[in-house]
């Protein structure tokens, strides 16, 4: 029962991450070549706080080790080469910055908006109203769990099963799931060190490639704070080019969560008992 409930909650989180359309944003600016920046464990990496919501920043630095993950994923996913993005912007949820991460500035379409139901996470991309397979996208979020922490592989598998890799995001959602339409590769472990009062993050990235036989890939990641707090952070995104792969890993590196403000887990009501 606990496993089934956990799976249901993970699937709900996956649908919230990348399952909705948004308002049309600006076209992405042309990207330029850039040299990946890295920092040693314990050094600062930007952006550092949810207070930076909306700030324009350069490419978030990759902690030592995560730069190797980015290179390995770019090589293994088989997507088209492209110059890395240079302009990024810090995006936040609509809870006042409980979840924040840096994404390419050209990915200007973001949901949820200020008037949408509150959500500890957001989805961003160049076009959230178009077909799923047509453009890159990233969704990040945080969710509390009950009891022992689920395995990262369990979270990633369920998020892949609950997320579309093609078709229509807007209701009624139609298409194939990431798990069904793509080939899974071996997962890659990652760790983001603690910095600026934010706990470290450790978990796995599960790559899915050759979606519909095309040069498209999805990265599905789950991680847990190393201070033992009872919530998980998750990311899911589609890459059409190596620049997109780099952007997804940098979003993961810059992900910040205000742990004590992650909303409590809302469980479904118990079934009614006949008198």
Whole-model pTM?
0.81
Long-range interactions of 102-106: CB distance < 8 A, separation 24+: 102/46, 102/47, 102/57, 102/60, 102/250, 102/251, 102/254, 103/138, 103/247, 103/251, 104/28, 104/31, 104/247, 105/29, 105/56, 106/26, 106/27, 106/28, 106/29, 106/31
Give the pLDDT mean for 72-97.
93
Q: Where are the domains of the chain?
A: 2-23+55-261
**2-23+55-261 carries CATH number 3.40.1000.10:** yes
pLDDT at 1: 36
| Confidence band, pLDDT 50/70/90 cuts, at residue 172 | confident
| Confidence band, pLDDT 50/70/90 cuts, at residue 15 | very low
């Amino acid at each position: 029962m606990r496993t089934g409930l956990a799976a249901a909650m993970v699937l709900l989180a996956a649908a919230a991450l990348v399952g909705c359309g948004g308002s049309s944003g600006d076209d992405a600016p042309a990207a330029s070549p850039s040299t990946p920046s890295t920092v040693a464990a314990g050094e600062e990496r930007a952006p550092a706080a949810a207070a930076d919501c909306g700030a324009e920043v350069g490419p978030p630095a990759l902690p030592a080790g995560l730069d190797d993950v980015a290179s390995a994923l770019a090589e293994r996913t088989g997507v088209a080469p492209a110059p890395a993005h240079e302009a990024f912007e810090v995006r936040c949820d609509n809870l006042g910055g409980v979840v924040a991460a840096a994404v390419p500035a050209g990915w200007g379409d973001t949901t949820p908006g200020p008037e949408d139901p509150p959500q500890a996470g957001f989805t961003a991309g160049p076009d959230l109203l178009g077909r799923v397979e047509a453009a890159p996208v990233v969704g990040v979020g945080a969710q509390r769990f009950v009891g022992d922490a689920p395995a990262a592989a369990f979270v990633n598998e369920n998020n892949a099963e609950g997320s579309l890799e093609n078709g229509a995001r807007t209701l009624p959602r139609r298409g194939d799931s990431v798990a069904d339409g793509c080939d899974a590769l071996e997962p890659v472990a990652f760790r983001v060190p603690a910095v600026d009062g934010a706990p470290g993050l450790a978990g796995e990235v599960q790559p899915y490639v050759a979606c519909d036989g095309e040069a498209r890939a999805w990265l599905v990641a789950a991680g847990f704070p190393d201070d033992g707090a009872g919530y998980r952070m998750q990311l899911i995104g589609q890459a059409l080019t190596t620049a997109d792969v780099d952007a997804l890993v940098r979003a993961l590196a810059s992900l910040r969560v205000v742990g004590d403000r992650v909303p409590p887990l809302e469980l479904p009501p118990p079934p009614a008992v006949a008198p």
